[in-house]
Structure 1
Amino acid sequence: MAYGQFAHIYDQLMQDVPYDKWVSFVQTVKQRYMGEDSNPFSVVDVGCGTGELAVRFAQQGWEVSGVDLSESMLAIAHEKASASGHSIPLFEQNMAELEGFNGVDCITIFCDSLNYLETEEDVKRTFQSAFNQLKKGGLLLFDVHSLYKMSQVFMNNTFTSVEEEVSYIWNSFPGDFPNSVEHELSFFVKEEESDRYLRFDELHFQRTFDVETYKNWLKEVGFAVKSITGDYSTEHLADHTERVFFVAQK
């Protein structure tokens, strides 16, 4: 799935996303499983999008690289990294086919990027790909939508936003696979120095699996599953958790 025109308004739509909570999660996990003195700390941010998390990771003093499938997203990430004064290598790669990061300390796949994979095999290949690139003791950190969120929050629901610069209508329908949704989005973007709005449409697919399935796939690859928690916490997983966080160690 390529984000196309969506890349150019992505940051406007994601202004309220709590990126700092992901950073805090990585900081806590890093200290817990690798120790306070684990510097330099190398991170590959997979599904880095426009670089919001990658830049924040670099601001922690970590050695950061970014990976994404969208050339448009990576172009914006490059501009953002340059403006922040950080040198962040960026690579257009499929997360199931990572290469060139041999022996990295940590790989992150955040903001439900893993849910864009359509098949079980793609998820398994991604876990194997990450395992191959990590050093012994390295960490794979990722989050996914919970079954609750897919069935109770997304499924057959409509979301709308009306703002001066960008408005949207977002419909979610059942996908062809179990626990999958198709997000049908129509955006209305105000032209500069004009009262006209341009419309464009995107169709996004997401799929998730139950916690035990993810856990078993990680173990099959060779990971030790260190924790499974909910909604940015490192302490608990509740029935109504919407975002499930996994910590796996090679």
Structure 2
Amino acid sequence: MSSYGRFAEVYDALMTDIPYDDYISWVAKYAPSKEYKKLLDIGCGTGKMATEFTKLGYEVSGLDLSEEMLTIAAERFMIEGVNVPLFCMSMDELEGFENLDIVTIPIDSINYLSNQEEVQETLSRVYQSLRSGGQLFFDVHSLYKMDEIFMDSPFTFDDGEITYLWITEAGEAPHSVHHDMVFYIQQENRLFERFEEYHYQRTFDIQTYIDMLQQAGFSEIAVTADYLEEAPTEKSERIFLRAVK
């Protein structure tokens, strides 16, 4: 499973288009904090969503495999004055949590698991960590995004301070992608520092995710797409799944 390294330093600056508020509203609609208190944010990254969940009254813990991401999250929590315990752990090795009301795995984090066995193990461990009636919320890249949109690289970005070149290649496994990224970050002396990062992601068709959720023990599985309360289409880019224990 790949994780974020130095990319964590510029993640927030490059992800301003992510509609975090819509994601949070989705969770709060089906699991309001008055009834669902204990929330574990898996793949919490820099802590933006965890911070907002806390402000809504949830008791939040954050988990991520990237120490760099967790360092930035801890700084954010200190500035915001919120208490969010953090854990460095791979999601398919989840342990030590019980009677959770909500688990979130946002922003295609589960796609960083490299095979179906790791996804199944993650879902099973999440199920064991939830209380009866607890809910899991997560999203994944669609087949269309993996097989079509990601294959239109190279992608570039330049705002004068951050420049990147992002090249993708299809992976050996079906619906998988290798991401090779080169960053140039302007320093205080106005020179640019260069670093590289490599990520690998894989997704599965919707029915496979449903089957894995059912195998883990979940019921009442709902599937929507692209931050909308609508059914997925052939060109949906992001699939949202909600399941109840």
Q: Per the shorter chain, which TM-score range?
A: over 0.9
Partner residue in 1 for 2:133: 137
Q: What is the CA RMSD across the aligned residues, in angstroms?
A: 1.2
Q: Contact 1:131–1:223 at 8 Å: present in 2 too?
A: yes
Residue 38 (structure 1) aligned with residue 23 (structure 2): no
Deviation of residue 156 (structure 1)? 4.6
Give the distance between the partners of 2:34 and 2:66, measured in 1 at CA: 35
Q: CA deviation at 1:37?
A: 4.3
| Aligned equivalent of 1:185, options 175, 181, 186 | 181
2: CA distance, partners of 1:225 / 1:167: 44
Q: Please report how far the alpha carbon of residue 189 of structure 1 lies from its aligned counterpart in structure 2 after TM superposition.
A: 0.3
Structure 1 runs of 4+ with >2 Å offset: none
In the TM superposition, what is the alpha-carbon distance from 1:120 to its structure 2 partner?
A: 0.8
2:224 maps to which residue?
229
Cα displacement (A) at 1:30? 1.5
1:148 paired to 2:149: no
1:52 to 48, 55, 61: 48
Q: Are 2:243 and 1:248 aligned?
A: yes
Residues 210 and 221, structure 2, Cα contact 8 Å, conserved in 1? no
- 1:29: Cα distance to partner? 2.0
* Secondary structure of the structure 1 residue equivalent to 2:221: strand
Q: Is the 8 A contact 2:180 2:199 kept in 1?
A: yes
Q: Which residue of 2 aligns with 1:202?
A: 197
Gaps of 5+ in 1: none
CA distance in 1 between partners of 2:237 and 2:186 (Å): 32
Gaps of 5+ in 2: none
| Of 59-68 and 230-239, the range deviating more from structure 2 | 230-239
Residue 86 (1) aligns with residue 87 (2): no
Aligned-pair distance for 1:137?
0.7
Amino acid in structure 2 at the alignment position of 1:42? K
TM-score by length of 1: 0.94
Identity of aligned residues (%): 44
Distance 1:37 1:15 in 2: 29
Give 3-state SS (helix, strand or coil) of 1:155's partner: helix
